[in-house]
Amino acid sequence: MRLCLAKQDFMRTQIIAKKINVKFFTDENDEETQALKLKYYDLMMELARHEGWHLELCRHNRAVLETPAIRDDSEKRHTALSRAVLYLVLAPHEPEQADLTHRLLADKLLDEIPTYKELLRLFVNPELIKWSGLCEIYERDLRSTEVFSSSTEEGRKRWADLRNRVVEHNIRIMAKYYTKITLTRMAELLDLPTEETEACLCNLVETGVISARTDRPAGVVRFTGTQEPAALLDAWAASLSKLMGLVNHTTHLIHQEEMLAVAQS
């Protein structure tokens, strides 16, 4: 893996990585095994950083936390935990990301770094996040990390990605509370130009995160509710049951009318 990464053969690195069984690293009493575990995850994180796999980076940092050398050192523990939070925030919203967010918030270790816990909680609360307010509170701490370092191109790109995650979160919240809203008002709430607002909205619709339609001549966005497959199936079953009840009742009335007709004749 190290050789492939040095040669920038990332595809072959992925193939080799899949052949390594991580259960081999479960023996915490074997120092050599734990040292290999740290080397393995360092290489996996290098690969994930190159590919932009933020969710994988979060998982790798959480796995590193289970290593005694990291877990028992408060500074290293806080570094790994803060990276897990930041990469999780950078990951696009999806069911797996949402589940991992709630599990990480429930981790008691997160109480040791309250700043990062509050940052993560912002993306769970059903409220709009004001970008300027977030920068005022968190920018100094976040920019001092290697994840968002302003001295590297990757750090600057991740900072832009964080802005995009905030915008996506805000649009999801709007979809939850609004049935329709003008593009102008949406752009005002997002603190973005109208064209960029529409582009972000289209991206979320294409990826299935929200369901919405834009009336461009009127400049109005209409949000439509999305149902989970199980809820949709339940609604269909309830409608079918109601239909069959109506058919049975109609059949009974027809039969009753036929009997009355026979009796009268």
Percentage of the chain modeled with pLDDT above 70? 97
* Residue whose pair of structure tokens reads 């990585």 in the numeric block: 17
**Could you give the C-alpha distances from 59 to 101, 212, 247, in angstroms and in order?**
11, 32, 54
pLDDT at 13: 81
Residue boundaries of the structural domains of the chain:
177-225
Class for the domain spanning 177-225:
mainly alpha
% residues pLDDT > 90 (the chain): 10
Virtual CA dihedral for 177, 94, 70, 1, nearest 10 degrees?
-160
14 pLDDT band, cuts 50/70/90, is confident
pLDDT-derived band at 246 (thresholds 50, 70, 90) equals very high
The whole-number pLDDT of residue 176 equals: 84
Check pLDDT > 80 for residue 95.
Answer: yes
Average pLDDT over residues 49-71: 87
| Residue with token string 């991740």 | 158
172-231 confidence digits (pLDDT tens): 888 888 888 888 888 888 888 888 888 888 888 887 778 888 888 888 888 876 656 777
Asked if residue 126 lies in contact with residue 96, where contact means CB atoms within 8 angstroms, the answer is no
| Through-space distance between the first and last CA atoms of the chain, rounded to whole angstroms | 93
Which residues, in sequence order, are bridge partners of residue 215? 220
Residue 235 makes CB contacts below 8 A (sequence gap 6+) with 227
Alpha-carbon gap, residue 48 to 261, rounded angstroms: 80
Mean pLDDT value across the chain = 85
> How confident is the model over 18-57, as pLDDT tens digits?
777 777 777 777 778 888 888 888 888 888 888 888 999 9
What distance in Å separates the CA atoms of residue 32 and residue 36, rounded to the nearest whole number? Answer: 6
